């Protein structure tokens, strides 16, 4: 399990909202802090690494959690700039 400093709930939101919410939330964090983005949009599996790659933030990991209502994705992003 990856430890996150701040958690961001984007459940129920579709692309591109989780990414935009991540961008806004990361601005509030300090360097080195890890943000946990919780989403039920499968696209985040590819989108978050792509976004991190382009913006320079570090993708620390991705977890998939099976729940009764479906799969939930947890993306961990470390603020690097």
Partner 1 sequence: MTIAQMDPAVALADLQVSKPDKVTIVLLSGDMDRAMAAFIIATGAAAMGMQVTVFFTFWGLNAIRRKGATSSAKDWLRQMFGLLNKGGADCLPLSRFHFWGLGTKMMQQVMKQNRMPGVPELMETALDLGVHFIACTTTMGLMGITKDTLIEGIDQFAGVTTYLAEAKQGSVNLFI
Among 32, 55, 69, 70, binds partner 1 (CB under 8 A): 55
Give me the DSSP letters along 14-71.
PTTHHHHHHHHHHHHSPTT-EEEEEE--TTHHHHHHHHHHHH--EEEEEEEEEETTEE
Q: Is 9 in the site for partner 1 (CB under 8 A)?
A: no
- DSSP one-letter code for 5: S
Q: Is 43 in the site for partner 1 (CB under 8 A)?
A: no
Q: Is 17 in the site for partner 1 (CB under 8 A)?
A: yes
Q: Is 80 in the site for partner 1 (CB under 8 A)?
A: no
| Active-site residue, from 2, 5, 14, 15 | 15
For the annotated catalytic residues, the residue numbers are 15
> Which residues contact partner 1 by CB under 8 A?
1, 12-17, 19-20, 22-23, 45-46, 49-55, 58-67
């Amino acid at each position: 399990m990856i430890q996150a400093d701040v958690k961001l709930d984007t459940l129920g939101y579709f692309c591109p909202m989780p990414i935009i919410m991540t961008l806004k939330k990361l601005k509030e964090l300090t360097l080195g802090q890890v943000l946990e983005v919780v989403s039920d949009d499968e696209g985040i599996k590819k989108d978050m690494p792509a976004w991190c790659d382009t913006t320079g933030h570090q993708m620390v990991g991705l977890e998939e959690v099976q729940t009764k209502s479906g799969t939930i994705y947890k993306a961990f992003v470390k603020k690097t700039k």
